[in-house]
Amino acid sequence: MVSLSDKELEFINRNEICRLATCSNGKPHVVPVAYIFLNGHFYIATDYNTKKFKNIIRNRNVCLVIDTYKPNRAVMIEGIAEIIEHGDEFKHVYSIFYERFVWVRRDPWKEGEAPFIKIKPLHKVSWGL
């Protein structure tokens, strides 16, 4: 697991949107997503029919960037993804998403209806922090 500095952790925890890159047939696919950072892992809600979900099933290598433009600050994380669909971890992560995000409370889901992507950071680069 990668070690994050106090400034990187503060930046990660102060934001809630990142860009997630997955790969499909050697071509990148990048989308903005909401995340939480918990116990050294990033969690992202998704649906089963998304391109990012399908890409991760085929290739678990991902990259995410949390950034601001003014001032130019960012943390880039390369990692390995897994899918969380059921169980205590799912329920705990879902409860945090439910508390934090209005869009989850407006359109809630249950185990097995939509999974979470869990990303284990393996490498990081940051700038402007």
Please state the pTM of the whole predicted model: 0.95
CA distances in angstroms from 98 to 21, 106, 107, listed in the order given: 24, 9, 10
Helices (H), the chain: 6-14, 51-58, 87-100, 102-106
Per-residue pLDDT of the chain (129 residues; tens, 9 = 90+): 799 999 999 999 999 999 999 998 889 999 999 999 999 999 999 999 999 999 999 999 999 999 999 899 999 999 999 999 999 999 999 999 999 999 999 999 999 999 999 999 999 999 999
Residue 71: asked if its preceding bond is cis (omega within 30°), the reply is: yes
6-127, CATH topology level: Pnp Oxidase; Chain A (2.30.110)
- Residue 60 is predicted with a pLDDT of 96
Domain ranges of the chain: 6-127
Residues with Cβ within 8 Å of residue 38, at least 6 apart in sequence = 93, 96
